[in-house]
Amino acid sequence: MKALVIGKGGREHALVHALLESSFINKVFALPGNQGMGKEVTQLSVEVESASIHKACIENDIELVVIGPEDPLVQGLASQLRQKGLAVFGPGEQGAKLEGSKIYSKKFMEKHKIPTAAFEVVSSVEKTLEKASNFTPPYVLKADGLAAGKGVFICKDKTELEKAATDLFENKILGEAGREALLEQFQPGYELSFFILTTGADYVALPMAQDHKKIFEGETGPNTGGMGTVAPMKISDSLYRTIIEEVVEPTQKGIQAESFDYKGVVFIGIMVTDSGPQVLEYNVRFGDPETQVLLPLLDGDWGEAFYKISQGEKPQLKWKEGFATCVVLAAEKYPESSVKDVVIEGDFSGSKEAYFLHAGTKLTEENHWVTNGGRVLNAVALASTLQESIEKAYKQADRVCWPGRQMRKDIGKKALDSLK
């Protein structure tokens, strides 16, 4: 079977990498993909829109489409392609609203009794300040729509809250995505990312991964898309059971009760608080860079798993014993911006257990790899212990360098400490 991956970043390179290893899939296409995905992958250049993609699939005999990023999912691409007869891994438009609208998502949690922080819907500075009296600081203001990771404001007091609300509702810094927002109770605790694959009717859980969201060591500096991940994360059996009973099962039941056309992944952002797990948010796509460490842990065939999900059939997944680490190499000035076209020096080769995935690179006419985005490369490594996988990932990362390269040196440190 031939498969198409939609998207172009490190997550999509991880998906392509997994499908290239599949014996179920004999040819991989990417739209648009990136040059780092290699010559085995055919990059398509049609518009990301159902009629054009369907035509390209017919012309190239593609049967399975795996959609990476949230934007096309929220625009309904998965359901449109399914209606045209393609096998698609990704939720339809209604299900994708769980990520596309934070307000819709909260109402889903409320309706299906899924634990989450208390909230109010606000759409003006005045209302935000009035409703703030229902909460204790710090205040959390979340733009309703997709905002590429820039839609959450943690405000230490009312002055900061007023500024955030003014930016959203009056300065319209996020445009339509910030027309309405959630004002939420801040919940102290620690974060876990939980992934399930769902057919709509049934689900299977993946191992847990831990992201490192801040740009600098020790979780300091501004937020990024993610600077590195490790998996599997170990938590106590009792916490795992609580998460399954209080969060995962009600989420799955809610998806079923709403009759969503959901055949894909649900990425549940959880805050573990003193009063138990609380859902922070749903994402309807794989995490980036979580995918880079989750996919290589499968002792099986991702092509077959994605196809089964797309057909409403629950796959039986078996996991390897080892650990995976991903270290993100980012461009100078990331996350505020990124310095592009800087030549990357070094050796891009790897092995089955340690390799690069490309996220924001470009090949020049002179055949040099240059930076072409915020997160540039992912160094991924697998090993039998977490310590070893971390060491191997850093060794891989150090095969390349460029002026201004940013890399956190403490990926996996917290997970290692928790194993002691």
Task: Summarize as ranges the residues that interact with ligand GLY (CB under 6 A).
Answer: 211, 225-226, 283, 287-288, 290
Shortest Å distance, C-beta 290 to ligand GLY:
6
- Given the complex with ligand GLY, which of 165 and 295 has the nearer CB atom? 295
Shortest Å distance, C-beta 288 to ligand GLY:
4
Asked if 89 contacts 26 with a C-beta cutoff of 8 angstroms, the reply is no
Shortest Å distance, C-beta 359 to ligand GLY:
12
**What SS3 state is found at 219?**
coil
Asked if 356 contacts 396 with a C-beta cutoff of 8 angstroms, the reply is yes
- Given the complex with ligand GLY, which of 82 and 360 has the nearer CB atom? 360
Angstrom distances, CA of residue 388 to CA of 295, 354, 380, 392: 18, 11, 12, 6
Shortest Å distance, C-beta 335 to ligand GLY:
12
- Given the complex with ligand GLY, which of 246 and 290 has the nearer CB atom? 290
Query: CB 252: neighbour CB atoms within 10 A?
Result: 22
Query: CB 48: neighbour CB atoms within 10 A?
Result: 17
Shortest Å distance, C-beta 70 to ligand GLY:
9
Asked if 382 contacts 326 with a C-beta cutoff of 8 angstroms, the reply is no
- Given the complex with ligand GLY, which of 64 and 268 has the nearer CB atom? 268
Residue 142 and residue 61: Cα distance in Å, rounded?
42
Residue 51 and residue 57: Cα distance in Å, rounded?
10
- Given the complex with ligand GLY, which of 207 and 287 has the nearer CB atom? 287
Angstrom distances, CA of residue 266 to CA of 3, 160, 232, 332: 21, 32, 17, 32
- Given the complex with ligand GLY, which of 29 and 264 has the nearer CB atom? 264
Shortest Å distance, C-beta 213 to ligand GLY:
7
In single-letter form, the type of residue at position 236 comes to S
Residue 109 and residue 250: Cα distance in Å, rounded?
9
Shortest Å distance, C-beta 229 to ligand GLY:
7
Shortest Å distance, C-beta 387 to ligand GLY:
23
Short-list 167, 157, 165, 159, CA closest to 183: 165
- Given the complex with ligand GLY, which of 184 and 301 has the nearer CB atom? 184
Asked if 140 contacts 153 with a C-beta cutoff of 8 angstroms, the reply is yes
- Given the complex with ligand GLY, which of 104 and 348 has the nearer CB atom? 104
- Given the complex with ligand GLY, which of 199 and 229 has the nearer CB atom? 229
Burial of 106 (0-12, 13-18, 19+ CB in 10 A): buried
**What SS3 state is found at 303?**
helix
Shortest Å distance, C-beta 254 to ligand GLY:
21
Shortest Å distance, C-beta 109 to ligand GLY:
18
- Given the complex with ligand GLY, which of 10 and 178 has the nearer CB atom? 10
Return all residues near 214 (Cβ < 8 A) that are at least 6 apart. 220, 221, 222, 223, 224, 227
- Rounded to 5 degrees, φ, ψ at 333 are 80, -10
Upper half-sphere CA count for residue 282 (Cβ side, 13 Å): 31
Residue positions counted in the chain:
420
